[in-house]
Structure 1
Amino acid sequence: MGKRRNEDAQISKAEYARREAKPTQGGGAFPRADAATLAQRRLVSPFSSRDSRPLAREAYSTRIASLNKSFSTFAETALTSSPKEAIVDAARDYVRYAEQLEARFLPKRTEVLSFGSGDCGQLAHSSTLEDENDTVVAKPRVVKALTNKVVAQLSCGGLHNVAVTLDGVCFTWGCNDEGSLGREGDESLLYMPGAVSLPEKVTCVAAGGSQTFAVTLSGKVYGWGCYKDKEGKQWFDAPGTLAPKRKQTTPLLIPSLKNITNVATGAAFNAALTANGDCLTWGLGEVGQLGRSVRDVKVNDEYDLDSLRNDHLTPRKVDFGEKVKVLGCGAYHLLAATELGLLSCGLNNYGQLGDGSTTDRTRPVLVKGLEDRAIAELCGGEHHTLCLLGDGTVKAWGRADYGQLGAGRSEAEKAGSLRETPGDVPGLKDVKSIACGDHHNLALDAEGSVKAWGYGDMNALGLGRARDEFAPKLLEFGVPCTITQVAGGGQHSMVVAAVAD
C-alpha cells in the first residue's frame, strides 16, 4: 500500500528544477443591484426550506438567523452614514452566504463520484484494492457505498477523505497510517466509508494533509490525525496533560475553539472562523502560515515542546485588521478576505501569496490587484492559489509548471514557472465554487458543469487521459447530472451530484 510522502515545505525553486519533471505519487457573490432592486428584496426566512429533516432545518435556521441579524445591524449603520456602495456590497454578500447555507444544509438526494489515484483506498471503490481498475480511475465513478447517504459536505485530504451527511453523521475513508480517519479496524473497512463516533451531530468537516476536523451544530470542534513536520515527526493538539508528540487516532475535543462556523486545513496547519468573523490558527507554523508570532519548533537542534504546545498547537487569533469574511488554506499558506482586501501569509517560494514577491511572510500581506474586488471563495494547492470573485470569474497565481494556473502552455514551459500576482483563468465564467488539489484544480459553474486543469498524470482531472492540462477542460459524467460540490485531494478528486427524487 502506498504511503504518504514527506516533503520539505521550504525546498527551493532550484531544487525543484533538479527533480523529475512530474511530482511523485503520494500527498459566491452576486452582481451589483441598483437601489430599487435592493429595496424590494426580503430577508430569507429561517423556515422557508421544503426539507423537513430536523437536524438540517435546525442548523440552517440557526445560521440564517445569525446572518439576518448581522445584515440588519450593518444595514442600519450603513444607511445612517450614507455609503450606498457599502450596502450594495453587503446585500450581494448576504445573498451569496444564504445560498451557501442552503446548499450545505438542505441538499437534495446525492451521489458522490471519485476519480484519480486510489491505491490507499481514497476513492472508495473497493475494500481490497486488488483490482487496478478500482485504484486508477480515469473518469468520475459513483461511490456506491454512499449512494443511500445524502452528503451535505465533502473534503479531500492528501490520502483520505471526510464527508458529513444531512443527518449530521461524519464518514471517513482512505489511508489511516497517521490516524486520519478517526476510527480503527481492518484495512478492508478503512478503504470504504465508515462512521466516526462523535458525541454531537456534525455540520462541517475538513481534511488536511494527515489531519481531520469536524464542526458540530453547537460550534465545537473535534479533531484527529496528526501534523507531520519537515522531518516526518507526528504532532497533534495537546490540551491538558496530553503529549504533543503523537498521532490522535480518535476524535478529540479542541476546548479553546468555540462558536466556530468553518475550518480550513493545509498540509499541517488549520484555520477556524468564528461566528463573529475572527480567525484562529494552529498546527505547525514553520514557514509563517499561522500568520502570528511563534517561536521556532527547535532550539539548538532539539524540539522546544513549550513552543510547540503553546505557540503552534494552541489555537490563537490572527490580527487581520478587520473581520474575516472568507477563509482558505493552501498547503503551506493562509488566505483571508476582509474589508481591507485579500491577505495572505506563509510559504511564498513560488509567489503563491500574490504580493508580487517570492519572500515568505510570517504576517498577513495584501494580495496585489484585488483590493476592490468582492471575493466569494479561496483555496490553495501545494504552491498555487485560486480565488473566486463575486462576478463568477477566477484568478490564479503561484506555481505554473504543471498547468495549475490554467493560462495555457506558454506560461508553463519550464520547471519552476510561476506568477507572483493574480491573473485571469481563461475559459471560466459563472463559476460558483472552486477546489484545489496539490497541483490541480476544479471549477463548478452555475449550470452544474465542472472543468478541471493542472497536473493530470494520476488521473485526478477525471478527463479520461493521464496528462497535464494547461487550460480548463470540461468533465463528462456519462449521464445527465448536476454537480453541487467539488473537492481536490493529493492526487485524487471527488464531486457531489444532486439527484432528482
Structure 2
Amino acid sequence: MVFGFGTSTPAQASSTASPFGGFSGFSGFGQSSGSTTAGPVTFGFGSQAVSFGAPAVSSAVETKVLAELPDFTTDRIPTGDVFVHGSGECDQLGLGDAVRERQKPTLVKSLTGLSICEIAVGAMHVLCLTTGGAIYSWGCNDDGALGRASSDGSDGGPSDVEPHVVMMPQGVVVRHVSCGDGHSCALDDSRRVWLWGTYKDSNGYIGIVRKRKQEAEVLEKSAEPTLVLESCLQVASGANHTVALVDAGNSKKVFAWGSNATGQLGLQEGCGFSERLLPCSGSIANLAPREGGGCEIAGEQVVRLHLADGSVRSAASMTVEQVQQTVAQGAKELVLQLPDREVPKTEKKKLLHPQDMPLAAAATGESEVIASGVHASAECSFVTFQGGSVRGCGLNGDGQVGVGFVSMAVPQLQAVPAVAGASWLGGGLYNTAALVDGRVFTWGKAEECGLGLGAKDPPVLQPREVLGLPKVRALRSGGHHTLASTADGDLFMWGCGLTHQLANRPRDVSNPIDTNEEPADELKPYRVSSKQLQKRFVMLADGGAQHSVELAWDGAYSAPSQDGVSQDEAITPELVSEVLRYFSGRMLEEPPVAGTP
C-alpha cells in the first residue's frame, strides 16, 4: 500500500523580506527545497471525513499573541525545537521504542540545542537540518531512508527510533532536505543533490541508482547517499518521485526521476495510462453505460469532452444522455482513457536517472517557458514559471492536478490557472493545496480539502480558497491531511485525524471538561490547541502518513555553518564504526567530478 504525500522543504510565503526568500518548494509530499537564484544555496523556508461537531473557521480568527516574534528580515536564521504527535508504530515519532502514540505535540528532547532550521517529513520517517549543515533522521528504515544502517540500538548502532545523524560524504554541507515514502534528498551548498532510500510503484521496488551514469548499477534500495544531480536550484519530493530545478546557464531546466506510473514525471514514457481522441461525429452511436458510472466506447471510458470554444468539460461521471446533450451543444471531440499498460521493467529503471521534463508544451507565451520553481504532491509534479503561471501533471483520478477534469493521469504539464503566483504547491494522495500570497487553495477529494465538504460530495476539480484562515506563511501536506502555519505563529490542520495527526483530541486543552480522546477527522481547518505550542511561534509544520511534526521557534538565531551542529561534529567514532560495518568495510565514495546530469 502506498501512503503517499509530498513534502517540499519549507517555503516562505510571507510578503516581508527574509533569509527564507527565494525558496519554494511533500517530503510529507509536496516538498521542495532550494533557492532559484544562481548564487550559493542558502538556508530557509524559501520564501473533514467526519467533523464530529468541529466548528468552522470563522471569518475573524483570533490572533495568536506572543511576547516576541522571530525576525525573518535579517540574515540571521531563526532556529527551533521539534515537536511530534500521531502514530509511532513505525518509529516515526523519534521518542524512543516505548512511545507509540502521542495525541498532542510532544518535544523531541534529544534535538534541543542543535539549531534546527528545517524539517522534512516522509510517509514514516523524518529529517531535521541544522544550520551547520548536518541532517538528523529517524523512523521507518526498511528501505534505507534514514541514510544509515537499520538498528534497534541493541548492537551499539544508532537506533531507528531516535534522531541520529545521516552519514554524508566528508565536507558536504547540506542546505535543504526533502523526502517521500521511502527516499530522502539533500541539496548541499555546492548545489548538488544527494539521494538515498528507494522508489516503488504498485508492483513493488523500482530501485535506486548508485551513480549518475546511465549504465550505473540499479539497487533495490540503498542507505548510502549518492550524488545524482548538480547545478540544482531547488528539489521537491513526491511519494516515489523527485523533481528538480537546474541552472542551465541562460535558462533553467526541470529534471524529474523515480516512478512515472501516473505521469508525475511529465513524460509519456513509463506511464501506465494513455488516452486517445475521437471525433464526436460518428462516435456517439457507440456510447454505452459504464459499470460504476460514466460511459464508454468499446470498453474505453469517456473522460472528457473538447468543446467548440476550446474549453474542456469533465465527462468521467456523465451518463450517455448527458454526453449526447453536450455533443448537441457543440462538443467536437471525445477523450477516451485506454486500458492500463504494463510498463516494462527496463523502461521503469531508465527513469531512475534524471529526465529532462518538456516545458515547451506548457507554454502560452515566451515568458512562460522559463521555469522558476518546482513542487510535488504524492503523485503529481508542479512547475511555476517566470510569469507566475503554474503547470501540473500526474495522478488525476480525483482532480488532483487541478485542471478542471478527472482522468487517471495527466502525463504532460497542463495549466492550473487558478493558482497563478503560487509560492508552494503540494498534497497527499488524493488532495492538493497551494499557497498564494498568504491564501490557501485546495482541490481534489472533497472531504480532504478543508472546505467543509464530505465523502458524498464530488471531487473539487479546480482550486478553491479555504476561507476564514489568517494569513498563512508556510503550508505542507501529509498523506491525507494539510498543515498551515500562520504569520502569527499559529497552526491549523484539516483532513484525516484517525491516528491523532491533527492533534485535535482534546479539542481545547484549556477546557477541563473536554476529555474526549477519540481520534477524529476535520472537514474544516482546526486551530491546534496545545500546551506545548501555545506560547511558541510555529515556523513550520509537516505531515507523514500517520503523524505530524512541528518546528517551533526556540527564541534563538543562528548563522549558516557557524552556530549549528556541523556534519563533521555530528559524526562520532561510534557512528563511523557502524557505517563501515554496514557498507562491508568500504568507505563512502568521494563526490564525483562536476558535470552535467
Partner residue, 2:536: 481
Contact 1:326 / 1:375 at 8 angstroms: preserved in 2? no
Give yes or no for the alignment of 1:387 onto 2:434: yes
Distance 2:94 2:439 in 1: 32
Distance 2:71 2:234 in 1: 12
Contact 2:87 / 2:101 at 8 angstroms: preserved in 1? yes
* Other structure's SS at 1:233 match: strand
Unaligned runs of 5+ in 1: 10-27, 32-40, 47-59, 68-95
Deviation of residue 6 (structure 1)?
4.3
- Which residue of 457, 463, 478 corresponds with 1:422? 463
- Please tell me the residue identity of whatever aligns with 1:167: G
- Structure number with the higher helix fraction is 1
Deviation of residue 412 (structure 1)?
1.1
Partner residue, 2:522: 469
Distance 2:231 2:548 in 1: 30
Q: 1:142 to 1:44 in 2, by over 3 A?
A: closer
Contact 1:426 / 1:471 at 8 angstroms: preserved in 2? no
Deviation of residue 259 (structure 1)?
1.5
Q: 1:434 to 1:104 in 2, by over 3 A?
A: farther
Distance 1:215 1:101 in 2: 25
Partner residue, 2:303: none
1:177-228 deviations in whole A, cap 9, x for unaligned? Answer: 1111110142241111111111201001111010001111101111111011
Partner residue, 2:90: 120
Deviation of residue 101 (structure 1)?
12
Distance 2:478 2:194 in 1: 24
Give yes or no for the alignment of 1:441 onto 2:482: yes
Partner residue, 1:310: 350
* Other structure's SS at 1:187 match: coil
Deviation of residue 279 (structure 1)?
1.8
Partner residue, 1:229: 201
Distance 2:442 2:418 in 1: 12
Distance 1:464 1:286 in 2: 37
Q: 1:103 to 1:163 in 2, by over 3 A?
A: farther
- Which residue of 446, 449, 474 corresponds with 1:405? 449
Partner residue, 1:288: 263
Q: 1:103 to 1:412 in 2, by over 3 A?
A: farther
Deviates most, 156-165 or 325-334: 325-334
Structure label with greater radius of gyration: 2
Deviation of residue 305 (structure 1)?
4.6
Distance 2:191 2:75 in 1: 15
Deviation of residue 273 (structure 1)?
1.8
Deviation of residue 296 (structure 1)?
5.6
- Specify which structure has the bigger relative contact order, considering alpha-carbon pairs within 8 angstroms and separated by 6 or more residues: 2
Contact 2:207 / 2:352 at 8 angstroms: preserved in 1? no
* Other structure's SS at 1:108 match: strand
Distance 2:411 2:75 in 1: 36
* Other structure's SS at 1:278 match: strand
Contact 2:393 / 2:401 at 8 angstroms: preserved in 1? yes
Unaligned runs of 5+ in 2: 6-11, 21-33, 48-69, 154-158, 274-339, 364-368, 507-518, 557-597
Deviates most, 458-467 or 312-321: 312-321
Deviation of residue 122 (structure 1)?
0.7
Contact 1:222 / 1:253 at 8 angstroms: preserved in 2? yes
Distance 2:554 2:493 in 1: 22
Contact 2:388 / 2:421 at 8 angstroms: preserved in 1? no
Partner residue, 2:127: 162
- Please tell me the residue identity of whatever aligns with 1:474: R
Partner residue, 2:281: none
- Which residue of 187, 206, 222 corresponds with 1:248? 222
1:48-93 deviations in whole A, cap 9, x for unaligned? Answer: xxxxxxxxxxxx9x987849xxxxxxxxxxxxxxxxxxxxxxxxxx
1:385-424 deviations in whole A, cap 9, x for unaligned? Answer: 101111x1111000123xx21111xx2142x741101111
1:440-477 deviations in whole A, cap 9, x for unaligned? Answer: 01101111101011100111111225100111111123
1:229-269 deviations in whole A, cap 9, x for unaligned? Answer: 21122411353454325101211111xx1111321111111
- Which residue of 390, 411, 434 corresponds with 1:362? 411
- Which residue of 359, 369, 380 corresponds with 1:333? 380
Contact 1:291 / 1:318 at 8 angstroms: preserved in 2? yes
Q: 1:97 to 1:161 in 2, by over 3 A?
A: closer
Q: 1:286 to 1:138 in 2, by over 3 A?
A: same
* Other structure's SS at 2:204 match: coil
Partner residue, 2:566: none
- Please tell me the residue identity of whatever aligns with 2:260: G
Q: 1:297 to 1:394 in 2, by over 3 A?
A: closer
Deviation of residue 426 (structure 1)?
1.9
Q: 1:450 to 1:30 in 2, by over 3 A?
A: closer
Contact 2:207 / 2:219 at 8 angstroms: preserved in 1? yes
Contact 1:280 / 1:318 at 8 angstroms: preserved in 2? no
Partner residue, 2:393: 345
Identity of aligned residues (%): 26
Deviates most, 361-370 or 110-119: 361-370
- Which residue of 241, 257, 262 corresponds with 1:269? 241
Equivalenced residue count is 412
Partner residue, 1:16: none
Deviates most, 375-384 or 106-115: 106-115
Q: 1:499 to 1:234 in 2, by over 3 A?
A: same
Contact 2:3 / 2:123 at 8 angstroms: preserved in 1? no
Contact 2:234 / 2:373 at 8 angstroms: preserved in 1? no
What RMSD over aligned residues (CA atoms) do the two structures have, in Å?
3.3
Deviates most, 152-161 or 235-244: 235-244
Distance 2:71 2:411 in 1: 32
Scaled by the length of structure 1, what TM-score is found? 0.75
* Other structure's SS at 1:457 match: coil
Contact 1:238 / 1:309 at 8 angstroms: preserved in 2? no
Partner residue, 1:431: 472
Distance 1:45 1:192 in 2: 30
Q: 1:301 to 1:361 in 2, by over 3 A?
A: closer
- Please tell me the residue identity of whatever aligns with 1:111: D
